[in-house]
Structure 1
Amino acid sequence: MSSNILLIPGPIVISENVQAALGTPSLSHTGPEFAAIFCSTLQKTRKLFKAGETAQPVLLAGSGTLGWDVAASNLIIPGERVLVLSTGYFSDSFAECFQTYGAKVDKLTAPLGGQVPVSDVREALANGHYKMISITHVDTSTAVLNDVRSICRVVKEVSPETLITVDCVCSVGCEKLEFDAWGIDYALTASQKAIGCAPGLSISMLSERAVGVALNREAQSSFFASLKRWIPIMQSYEKGSAAYFATPAVQLINALDVAIGEVLKPGLDARIAKHRDISNWFKSKVTEELGLKLVSANERVSAHGLTAIYVKNPPEVISALKKSGIVIAGGIHKDIKGEYIRVGHMGESACNDSLQHIQKCYDALKSLNL
């Protein structure tokens, strides 16, 4: 097994306890033992999103991308309009998903490395009736962090009937997110980033309003991703009683229960502050001491779970770091794909000081005389 330090924007290094949870023996997915684990995981998921009892968590076997399909196939009827705020590759891909299910999509595209101005969002909402607005909290192609709270406030003011969907794949566990307080209707994430679990779980949270939209939908455009099928299953498990539609990922759910427990143990706010501190330290070292430029335009719009950095020869830098035992990622934004690298600093690598992963990564970058 490789001893490399994995510092891509997900999957990330997982803790020993989470690794052990993945290796537990199989359980009957309809037995009381697993029902208790699933119940615990669903309840912890509420705390992770800062969501109350009226919100509905949904945990499905699949990648974070499955959460896009869940939103597009359950909350939007073909022909309805969706406003997508684009800050990079993943925002654009979500727009494509909506279009696949027949939605009429309008995009507001941010300048590279920046956010869509809130004034533009206000104007678009005022001039068009949208069933939904989609916000990518952190687009991992650019490491841009959106001001979800401010956008939600504008939506509630200008177009309160519009559903608010937030892609939180690279933000839950490392960025401030308040599902209930901000009035989010649908938020999606995945197990393999700042939550600190292995890949393979799509994690969603729905508001009471979104649950109503999904359950009252007449025509279904998805089978496996149907919330009409899954919501009763989740509700049953959260009451401690197993139910069946499709087999859940037993070991992954067990590992997620452990991983979220580790996130919540020091306090969610403390965990988020730790990510912010590590991110700020790394970014300042890279820009001030190495003289490199970030893709994200400034500190205000910079994500805290990863850093995107312009370098002269990304493949050469990636290869050199790999020889030092550190694995980072290249760029994927279509306009600058061959011009930058991405370094992830989430979960264990950011929060377990004994590992010194981010320090080692910086030292390796510094040794290259970039």
Structure 2
Amino acid sequence: MFEDTHDEHVLLTPGPTPIHPRAQRALTRPMLGHMDPEVFALNSEIQRDLREMYGADEGTLTALLAGTGSLGMEAGFANLVEAGDEVLVCANGSFGRRMAEMAARYGAKVRLVTAPLGEAIDPADVAAQLDDSVSMVAVVHGETSTGVLNPVPEIAKLVRGTGALLTVDAVTTAGMEPFDMAKWGVDYAYTGAQKCLSAPPGLAPVAISERAFSRFRARRTPPPLWYCDFGGLRDYWVDHSYHHTVPVNLHFALHAALRAALDEGLDTRQARVRLMGRVIERTLAPLGFSPYVRRPQDRLPTVLALRLPEGLDDAGVRGALRQRGISVTGGLGPTAGVIWRLGLMGESARPEPYRRLMTELAGLLGEPGLVARFDAAVQEELARDLLPA
């Protein structure tokens, strides 16, 4: 029988994240129709707030797709790639590889730029494969599978002036990490509601530049994915004409979570995630946990990838934590049993849920000083952040 433990469970995964209280309340409001004037007014506020979150120009089309971040990924290829197009994909983890697979399914001739697991894409490798025949460059900003932050601003500089569009997966960065769509020259970006914004899963916030929309209009053939056709998306979000039924209450919840993020301040959120990352690393280091990503500048703050201590029973410990109401995620594929991936997005990037983790780990691993070390690290990091530079 299902046991309701909603008041006890702690999500420390790379997604979904704990729902923001304001988003939780918004989910319970009475239903409205998707063509209701109040919903259109709400959507306009969401569009404005998404432009702020992405750092996008006023002319950028922002909207919500009724699906998770993977739908955001697929919509970009479905609308902006035609059969025979040359697409350069940066792949140094599971989600870069997913990009390559999706682009190929839509008929693209895929060129891969790779890097070993745990290492960032080298812009020089992108430059070596980038020429005038490339119609799109696609890169994952924060590779969730390995905890790597790819150098999107440097890659964007290479793409500018080539005629290629730049697609960026911002699933574990937008709303919690620096992201400047207009300044960098990103043409298409997407994320998932359940990541840095701490809204319920089921929506993919997207941003489509004017240049990308012009490329869409110049297609030789209609997009093969009707549901997320950029024209139909614009018809609903801008002209308020019917395309399909959107999940209205998820819109209300996303609006509440996004507004909460902007009210807190993007700079404040960036500082918060970095502080918590330092605290967790300091607390767990004496047990033998260490950063999986070697170079500090390549580490993704929102997904802390830690190499496990020698001899730790990965599945056993995570299973025991789950029995105690705490979800921690291990590695994917080659990193299974090698790393933990601790989510530091949205509402999970706070001391309270990680203090709970340390409390349970202390009992499981026989480390009674773990909680005291965590508390001391929190206080020291807070004091350091408050002291003048």
TM > 0.5? yes
5 Å-filtered alignment, 1:217-228, equals: 217-220=219-222, 221-228=224-231
| Farther-moved stretch of structure 1 (264-273 vs 73-82) | 264-273
Contact 1:17-1:258 at 8 Å conserved across structures: yes
Q: CA deviation at 1:361?
A: 2.1
Contact 1:310-1:340 at 8 Å conserved across structures: yes
Name the amino acid aligned to 1:167.
D
- Distance (Å, rounded) in 2 between the aligned partners of 1:268 and 1:215: 33
Q: CA deviation at 1:149?
A: 0.9
Give the corresponding residue for 2:379.
Answer: none
Distance 1:122 1:365, change over 3 A: farther
Contact 1:282-1:362 at 8 Å conserved across structures: no
Give the corresponding residue for 1:110.
Answer: 115
* Residue 38 of structure 2 corresponds to residue 33 of structure 1: yes
* Residue 231 of structure 2 corresponds to residue 232 of structure 1: no
- Distance (Å, rounded) in 2 between the aligned partners of 1:6 and 1:271: 18
Q: CA deviation at 1:227?
A: 0.7
User: Secondary structure of the residue that 1:265 maps to in structure 2?
Assistant: helix
Give the corresponding residue for 2:317.
Answer: 317
Give the corresponding residue for 2:378.
Answer: none
Contact 2:121-2:151 at 8 Å conserved across structures: no
Give the corresponding residue for 1:361.
Answer: 357
Q: CA deviation at 1:23?
A: 1.3
Match of 2:66 among 61, 66, 70: 61
* Residue 297 of structure 2 corresponds to residue 294 of structure 1: no
Name the amino acid aligned to 1:344.
G
- Distance (Å, rounded) in 1 between the aligned partners of 2:89 and 2:110: 7
User: Secondary structure of the residue that 2:130 maps to in structure 1?
Assistant: helix
Give the corresponding residue for 1:213.
Answer: 215
Q: CA deviation at 1:98?
A: 0.4
Contact 1:46-1:52 at 8 Å conserved across structures: yes
Give the corresponding residue for 1:344.
Answer: 343
* Residue 250 of structure 2 corresponds to residue 252 of structure 1: yes
Name the amino acid aligned to 1:214.
F
Q: CA deviation at 1:231?
A: 1.5
Give the corresponding residue for 1:268.
Answer: 266
Gaps of 5+ in 2: 368-389
Q: Deviations over 1:56-101 (max 9, x none)?
A: 1121111111112211111111111111111201110111000011
Give the corresponding residue for 2:283.
Answer: 285
Contact 2:281-2:290 at 8 Å conserved across structures: no
* Residue 301 of structure 2 corresponds to residue 304 of structure 1: yes
5 Å-filtered alignment, 1:151-190, equals: 151-156=155-160, 160-190=162-192
The size of the alignment, in residue pairs, is 357
Q: CA deviation at 1:349?
A: 2.1
Q: CA deviation at 1:320?
A: 2.4
Q: CA deviation at 1:363?
A: 4.2
- Distance (Å, rounded) in 2 between the aligned partners of 1:301 and 1:41: 31
Contact 1:135-1:167 at 8 Å conserved across structures: yes
Gaps of 5+ in 1: 237-241
Name the amino acid aligned to 2:257.
A
**What percentage of residue pairs aligned between the two structures are identical?**
32
| Farther-moved stretch of structure 1 (186-195 vs 114-123) | 114-123
- Distance (Å, rounded) in 1 between the aligned partners of 2:103 and 2:255: 31
Name the amino acid aligned to 1:292.
F
Give the corresponding residue for 2:385.
Answer: none
Give the corresponding residue for 1:239.
Answer: none
Q: Deviations over 1:226-258 (max 9, x none)?
A: 11211222223xxxxx32100111000000110
Give the corresponding residue for 2:328.
Answer: 328
Q: CA deviation at 1:259?
A: 0.4
Q: Deviations over 1:119-141 (max 9, x none)?
A: 11111114x62111111011111
Name the amino acid aligned to 1:197.
A
Q: Deviations over 1:29-53 (max 9, x none)?
A: 1111111111111111111111121
Q: CA deviation at 1:202?
A: 1.4
Contact 2:32-2:39 at 8 Å conserved across structures: yes
Max Rg structure: 2
Contact 1:188-1:203 at 8 Å conserved across structures: yes
TM-score by length of 1: 0.92
Q: Deviations over 1:150-172 (max 9, x none)?
A: 1111222xx52111110011111
TM-score by length of 2: 0.88
User: Secondary structure of the residue that 1:83 maps to in structure 2?
Assistant: strand
User: Secondary structure of the residue that 2:216 maps to in structure 1?
Assistant: helix
- Distance (Å, rounded) in 2 between the aligned partners of 1:284 and 1:232: 51
- Distance (Å, rounded) in 2 between the aligned partners of 1:291 and 1:120: 34
Q: Deviations over 1:144-203 (max 9, x none)?
A: 1111111111222xx521111100111111211101111100001110011110000011
Give the corresponding residue for 2:153.
Answer: 149
